[in-house]
Amino acid sequence: MTFLEKMKGSSQSPPRVSVSEILLSWLGSFLGIAAVALLNFRLLDGSDLVMIIGSFGASAVLIYGAIRSPLAQPRNLIGGHVLSAVIGVAIYKILPEAPWLASSLAVSTAIAAMHATKTLHPPGGATALIAVIGTEKIHALGFMYALVPVGAGAAIMLLVALVFNNIPKSRRYPEFWL
């Protein structure tokens, strides 16, 4: 295939899922995000702690919307988030004065590390980026960021996914643990 031929694509989009599947994805992700959001806005409001970060929205797509995907499995969800968080914080600490370089290094290194550890989870890239471009509240957490909100939040969403995704006949989760 030539360079230009490759750009035309060679396969087709997978089929649209059924209406019931759409409703299940909607309900599952609503519950999963509700769990972390309630903790964040009701319990930790006013404290120095945060429970919810933007990358959880992306995780919800996978663990409630594409639950068979290798990217959506527990190993990837927890491993990808925590590993990326540690990498993001470390790079911010090394390069706080060069946000453009810290941002790009955090994301690219996180992806490489997730690949190497078989924990590729796309939202992990966002988690690493947030460690660099996040608020002062995030920066103040230091490496704690990897545990709360990242580790704890991912764990709560995993718990919801384990319960919710195994109730309907048409779903089962996970495909594998480790």
Partner 1 sequence: MTDTTIDACVPVEISDDDIFEAMTQIPGYLDITPGDFKEVYLKSYQHALQRLTRSVHVKEVMTTEVAAVLRSTSIREVAELMARRRVSGVPVLNTDRSVVGVISERDFLRTMGDEQSATFMDVIADCLRGGKCLAAPMRIQCAEDIMTAPPVTVNPDTSVMEVANIMARQRINRVPVVDATGKLIGIASRADVVRSSLVR
Q: For binding to partner 1 (CB under 8 A), which residues are involved?
A: 10-15, 17-18, 20-21, 25, 65-72, 170-171
Nearer to partner 1, 67 or 106 (CB): 67
We find the least distance from the C-beta atom of residue 166 to partner 1, in angstroms, to be 13
Of 149, 148, 83, 91, whose CA–CA distance to 117 is shortest?
83
Which contacts qualify for 160-166: CB closer than 8 Å, 24 or more apart? 160/28, 160/31, 160/32, 160/35, 161/28, 161/32, 161/63, 161/64, 161/67, 164/27, 164/28, 164/31, 164/32, 164/64, 165/28, 165/63, 165/64, 165/67
In angstroms, rounded to a whole number, what is the distance separating the alpha carbons of residues 115 and 109?
10
Least gap, CB of 9 to partner 1 (angstroms) = 9
Least distance CB 175 / partner 1 (angstroms): 11
Nearer to partner 1, 28 or 153 (CB): 28
The DSSP symbol for 143 reads G
Q: Which is nearer to partner 1, 15 or 46 (CB)?
A: 15
Cβ burial of 5 (10 Å; 0-12, 13-18, 19+) is exposed
Minimum distance, C-beta of residue 145 to partner 1, in the bound complex (Å): 28
Please say which residue, 22 or 94, places its beta carbon nearer to partner 1.
22
Q: How far is the CB of 112 from partner 1 (least distance, A)?
A: 21
Toward partner 1, which CB reaches closer, 57 or 99?
Answer: 57
